[in-house]
Each structure stands twice: as structure tokens, then as C-alpha cells.
Homo-oligomer: A and B are copies of this chain.
Amino acid sequence: MFLMEFSITPMDQGQSVSSFVARCVEIVDRSGLDYRLHSMGTVVEGELEPLLQLLQQSFEALQNDSDRISCSVKFDYRRAASGRLTAKVESVEKKVGRQLRK
């Protein structure tokens, strides 16, 4: 299974871009895939193909309004592992030996 973290931003719409982010998070939320939104991006868990589709749909959701769009993505593939949206954080907390801010 893959974790994919992504953030996507129009470059020509001024400094307040949360309405554009909202469109893309809507797409993720409706996809049925498990995800977590944080202050610098969204992490989604799934197989690679539906994750790449989310990227494509996110660009399509912004391309009507923006002529320049920047997007950064990180993938973390681990064979036969799922539930990692929470498991990775719990594993770090266990090593540190106490609850962390999350």
C-alpha cells in the first residue's frame, strides 16, 4: 500500500489559497480513500492508481481558474502494510515513550 502526501497551489491567485485547497480536499474526501488533512498538505492511503487519479482530478479542479499551478507530492510505499496513517505516528510515540502533538 502507498501513502501519498500532496499539496497543490495556484501561483497566480494571490496569497490566500484555501478555497482552492478546499476543492482538492473535497475530491479526496469523496474518493472513499482514508486520509488526513494537516496544515501543509493531505496524506492519503491507497493503491497507486487511485492516488494518481486524485492528482489528475485535483489539477483539473484548478486549471479552469489558474494558468500556473505548483504541486508537491511524496509517496511512501511499503509492501503489505496498511493502516499507516495512524500506525506510523503510534510507532514513533511508542519509541519516544509518551504522547506527542498530532
Chain B residues near A29 (CB, 8 Å)? 96, 100-101
A43 to B66, CA, bound (A): 22
Mark interface residues in A23-64 (1 if CB within 8 Å of B CB, else 0).
Answer: 001100100001111111101000011001001100100010
Instruction: From B15, B40, B56, give the contact of A3 (CB < 8 A).
Output: B40
B69 near A72: Cβ-Cβ < 8 Å: no
Instruction: From B68, B70, B74, B88, give the contact of A18 (CB < 8 A).
Output: B88
B39 near A3: Cβ-Cβ < 8 Å: yes
B56 near A67: Cβ-Cβ < 8 Å: no
Instruction: From B37, B68, B101, give the contact of A37 (CB < 8 A).
Output: B101
A9-B11, A38-B102, A48-B55 given; name 5 further pairs at CB < 8 Å.
Answer: A11-B11, A39-B84, A69-B76, A70-B77, A71-B74
Shortest Cβ-Cβ A-B pairs, 3 listed:
A22-B95, A15-B68, A71-B75
